[in-house]
Amino acid sequence: MSKQTNGSSATNGSDVNGVKPSSDVPSRKMLGGIGTHVFNPLIKGIVLFFGDGDASNQIIRDYLASQGFVVLGFDYFDRDGTDGKKPPKDSRPDFEAWAKEHQDHFKEKLDPWWKAVQENYSPGDMDIPLPYFVVGCGFGAHFAMELCVSSESKSKVVAGAFVHADFLEASTVAKVDIPVLFTFSNTGNPLDRETRPWVECILGGPKGIPTTKYCIQMFASNLPEITIGQNPKVENENYLMHESARSMSQWFIRGASLKEGPQ
């Protein structure tokens, strides 16, 4: 049997419109020297969750937990995974300087964390083999993308999903060989409009032959971050927030069932 530690179920039920950011305190354990928040004791798959360095990704995290995934949140800044000194993204030079300051440090921690995750949440220890998935939001996309290359993940990560992917490196994207889902905003995030074309060009492959299975979805939204949930009472904002989370869950479920990822 696995060495799972029960985490609190962040939300109840599977109604996508009923998922709200939870104030529940997740279980927390140390994996490879990194504090790791564990959401949801149910087992459908294991999600390696790299957030944006703040509290803006609760809906994605909580929705995946409500669907039966064990969500392991990489804790960048100890205890709550946030940094009160993180500059706003519209101050791009300051934000990039902040990110660069932390990226190298966290990248060094990635390998021992991933090793510890596999030791503590090994599919081979379970009655039914379970897949690994990875989510990268904003700042966290840089780290999540590393695990979408089979030589880095030892082919154990089945599929990846990204929202407002930031700090991606073309050389890494070109090596991706598992199914990946990207969610972008067409109107609310200038970075998305810059990133989407070259990501699509690389994944589309030479002569239009894709290098891997991928899906790119784009929402017309004025929200700076479509997954925050600043005003869920506004129908369009509520829909975009939850549809982003739902599509990730379906991408993972379908990818695991087809073994080779979504067609």
Query: 10 Å Cβ neighbour count for 190?
Result: 13
- Summarize pLDDT for 31-41 with one digit per residue, the tens: 888 888 776 55
Res 55: pLDDT: 61
The gap from C-alpha 113 to its chain's centroid, in whole angstroms, comes to: 16
For the four alpha carbons of 233, 239, 242 and 244, in that order, the dihedral sign comes to: negative
pLDDT tens readout for residues 51-107 = 887 666 778 888 898 898 989 999 887 655 455 577 666 667 787 787 787 788 888
CATH 3.40.50.1820 for domain 16-258: yes
Q: Is the pLDDT confidence value at 8 over 70?
A: no
CA distance 91 to 139: 14
Q: Tell me how far apart the alpha carbons of residues 28 and 176 are, in angstroms, rounded to a whole number.
A: 30
Contacts of 83 (CB under 8 A, 6+ apart): 53, 54, 76, 77, 98, 102
Q: Transcribe 191-248 into DSSP letters.
A: HHHHHHHHHHHHHH-GGG--SS-EEEEEE----SSTTS-S-TTSHHHHHHHHHHHHHH
Residues paired with 70 in a beta bridge:
46
The per-residue b/e assignment along 241-250, b for 16 or more CB within 10 angstroms, e otherwise, is: bbbbbbbbbe
Tell me the two tokens of residue 26: 């997740």
The two counts, helices (H) then strands (E), for the chain are: 7, 8
Which SS3 state, helix, strand or coil, does residue 125 take?
helix
Say what the pLDDT of residue 181 is.
Answer: 96
Model pLDDT for residues 230-251, shown as the tens digit of each residue: 466 777 777 777 888 899 999 9
What average pLDDT does range 215-228 have in this prediction?
65
CA distance 227 to 233: 14
Which tokens hold the place of 121?
């949440």
Query: pLDDT tens across 99-150, in order?
Result: 787 788 888 888 899 989 988 886 555 555 678 999 998 889 999 999 998 7
All structural domains of the chain with their residue ranges: 16-258
The phi, psi pair for 73, rounded to 5°, reads -90, 115
Between 209 and 1, the higher pLDDT residue: 209
Looking at the predicted structure, is the pLDDT value of residue 197 above 70? Answer: yes
